[in-house]
Structure 1
């Protein structure tokens, strides 16, 4: 199969970028050399995932052509497990069981379906051990130990659905083996991506245990941390994971449905809050580990809660930050304007070049980010983040990193802007962006 041009360009860039020094050791699992691309169930499907719903989104990812542009993961988020009044219901070895009312064929069959679409399957877990496992004192698979041997009942771990999760004391025999057995089960189901949610600085032992367990399965499983990780632990997140959420949810929870579900899914304040985060976390991104700005809410037009200009700025910032591109929208009802955005290979190549941009202008609503790619060209994004009033945003080539003149291409339109000397300016509508590639003349 012929590779898209963005893959060829990004591969060439990464040959240089991957050799560059980084501020911390990257995860050694060999995965996520480029930021992950795909779809996640949380934003749109929210608390009601079903086998049929996930299959429909997988089919849409393939049939829409998005998969051909690199969107490969279909990630089932929270609410797949069965709960009772004491939390997650568990199997004979203390691991959560699937809610068969939602997934009558089981998770392996669903993963097989996704794989048959030529895609990859992602899954979800939270740290700790279920209260039900401790109450029943279930045995830990492959050992003589039991759940009560490893549980720290003085610690309550975060779980957004079933609640009732205790901490794990990793100094106890059987603790790592419990996580290993769970990871092995996920691998046997065909999981390619695992999000562990609700983790923070206090959960470093869980993160280490899961990172080790996933490697031990022998199956390549992209490991993602969520959410709102503290930047003080960035070196640790980079060492053990392939991505880490740098902020809270991008969803506004302002829709008309239960728990704020439905449209709108987000709003500009939740997106624009990422400009500062992208700047402060920039140094930690690189091949093998990425700053995750959360879901990309493009696909369903204005009803998503963003104007077309704001959606382009949304995609531009995520691409400049080299964030994972995980769509949160309804792929079965793609808007033609948004589909054109998502299939713009020039934008995708900016995300997949393996370089996170630095912020070089931070003047209120006037923001400029820039990065140098391996071939010596510069990608520059100018933003007007205001919600009213046009603004002229300017940057000098010396701020970008070179002097003289440059050949400029508009990456959203693909149009040649000609040779421009010394500086670049754009008058932008509120929420609008201008994304250019500048190739220095010298």
Structure 2
């Protein structure tokens, strides 16, 4: 049942509408904190600045983000990664409440002043932490701010947490009073400094209590903070990551650590092998991405030409995959030395729109070095990416329109160049150099879709056919009761037995997902399929899936699986 939309979500919906057609959200139940309805865009210090971040370097990158024009294309985060802290022989030095102390030699004005500078540019500031409590806090038995508890009350000194800098971090025992309050105090400090994005690094499945504690702490901090998890998280726990966070790293670092500087710093930043491994992880994790929570493929190493370790073809493929996967676009390069070629890549609004459309593409061809990925937009267009992932030899990569999801012919637009080509029937192919990509928009020229309006279907008792939120098809939409078990059932005809693409049009003006079970002819084919927030009750989206139909009449029922009930339902389209 409808709920009043918040000002924040309404504003985001207006911004997205202004940007152009909104694509179909991919099926995922993500954090309901109302943040990151689209993947984050910006810059992170780790790849290029690495272990020597300073106030001056961060300010220079912020200035360059603005002066280069990247900000105008949606890149807004300046994220300070690791090695801003001060260490001694026992690990991190800490403040009076046991929290990491900032290295004043690197950041003489303090973190709040840096955040204020970044905010003055119209940008957002990101920060970094890892799970646990510092050894020095336990040794000193520092008090936990606002409580009668101390560090020794909450530390499990039998186990050390992963940390990449000063190390010497103990586990926190969350069964102990004061543990959540310690994390809360740290989150309040970050909020008071003006943090807009927090990366918690070194996270493994054993750290789920920490991830949960930080989620609670950030929500209670008084500031909206985009919450990112890193790195190489277990896919077995994907439902937990998407419930608690706004993004999660699906693999280890994209950096090669093969530069000439200390610890492999300097150029090159990455290799094609490092990038190419992301194709398989993006395919495996695809189902978990959606508004509010994204699969993070790691930094985008584009900006400084070939010296990053990728040639121009590979860099375009790098950005194409990140865009198709709806990964955050967080640049790792030196923004003060952007090349013209790379700036053109990064400011290609057609590519950015593919990333920001709110849906992660699926892989439909995977044959040797040939790959094809596709996703369907709400307006009926398809975005298709073809790749030659090899390092030698041209490849002619082909895909049938039926594999993409529609029959017949399509008008094709090359999204990298913007050139529109002729209408192409049956299939599409491109001969690609090693590492090259082709990214197209395919607009089907004839529609075989059959629409089944919700108001003409069967639905649970207490449902109403309403028309008070615009943008619907037909005479109205169905508003079911807010209850588990609320359902909608369509009778769908099929001339033959086949696997058929369907699209269920819905609106969810809340930040919370409204998962439903999808059943065909009484058998559940997608359990707990999420129907995430769309930003407003007037913003409609399609949840698409492929279902098995028999010849003749079929029932397709969607049933709410939580007390939130179902979203507003407009229609079902059968491909």
TM-score, normalized by length of structure 2? 0.74
| Secondary structure, counterpart of 1:360 in structure 2 | strand
1:82 counterpart residue number: 86
Aligned-residue offset at 1:218: 1.9
Deviations 1:139-195 (A, max 9, x none): 000000000000001111011000000000000000000000000000000000000
Question: Alignment partner for residue 335 of structure 1, among 330, 333, 339?
Answer: 339
2:244 counterpart residue number: 240
1:258 counterpart residue number: 262
Q: Distance in 2 between matches of 1:138 and 1:156?
A: 18
Tell whether 2:173 aligns with 1:169: yes
2:193 counterpart residue number: 189
CA RMSD of aligned residues (A): 1.3
Q: Distance in 2 between matches of 1:282 and 1:11?
A: 23
> CA contact under 8 A between 1:93 and 1:138: conserved in structure 2?
yes
Q: Distance in 2 between matches of 1:367 and 1:100?
A: 49
> CA contact under 8 A between 2:16 and 2:22: conserved in structure 1?
no
Aligned-residue offset at 1:9: 6.6
Q: Distance in 2 between matches of 1:277 and 1:381?
A: 16
1:359 counterpart residue number: 363
Question: Alignment partner for residue 127 of structure 2, among 115, 119, 123?
Answer: 123
1:411 counterpart residue number: 415
Question: Alignment partner for residue 63 of structure 2, among 53, 59, 64?
Answer: 59
2:182 counterpart residue number: 178
Q: Distance in 1 between matches of 2:193 and 2:109?
A: 12
Q: Distance in 2 between matches of 1:209 and 1:286?
A: 23
Q: Which structure has greater strand proportion?
A: 2
Q: Which runs of 4+ in 1 moved over 6 A?
A: none
> CA contact under 8 A between 1:10 and 1:352: conserved in structure 2?
no
Deviations 1:185-222 (A, max 9, x none): 00000000000000010000000000000000121100
> CA contact under 8 A between 1:10 and 1:354: conserved in structure 2?
no
Q: Distance in 2 between matches of 1:376 and 1:193?
A: 34
Q: Distance in 1 between matches of 2:109 and 2:222?
A: 25
Once the two structures are superposed, the pairs formed by residues 29-68 of structure 1 within 5 Å of their partners are: 29-68=33-72
Q: Distance in 2 between matches of 1:332 and 1:418?
A: 40
Q: Distance in 2 between matches of 1:316 and 1:45?
A: 25
> CA contact under 8 A between 1:9 and 1:353: conserved in structure 2?
no
Aligned-residue offset at 1:373: 1.0
| Secondary structure, counterpart of 2:350 in structure 1 | helix
Once the two structures are superposed, the pairs formed by residues 202-351 of structure 1 within 5 Å of their partners are: 202-351=206-355
Tell whether 2:207 aligns with 1:198: no
Deviations 1:230-262 (A, max 9, x none): 100000000000000000000000000000000
Q: Distance in 2 between matches of 1:141 and 1:47?
A: 30
| Gapped regions of structure 2 (runs ≥ 5) | 1-11, 447-575
| Secondary structure, counterpart of 1:43 in structure 2 | helix
Aligned-residue offset at 1:11: 6.2
Aligned-residue offset at 1:301: 0.1
2:22 counterpart residue number: 13
Deviations 1:334-361 (A, max 9, x none): 0000000000000000000001000000
**Residues 44 and 164 from structure 1, CA distance in 2 versus in 1: closer, same or farther, beyond 3 angstroms?**
same
| Secondary structure, counterpart of 1:152 in structure 2 | strand
> CA contact under 8 A between 1:78 and 1:124: conserved in structure 2?
yes
Q: Distance in 2 between matches of 1:231 and 1:132?
A: 34
Q: Distance in 1 between matches of 2:433 and 2:441?
A: 20
Which of structures 1 and 2 has the bigger CA Rg?
2
Question: Alignment partner for residue 426 of structure 1, among 412, 424, 430?
Answer: 430
Aligned-residue offset at 1:8: 3.9
TM-score, normalized by length of structure 1? 0.97
**Residues 6 and 279 from structure 1, CA distance in 2 versus in 1: closer, same or farther, beyond 3 angstroms?**
farther
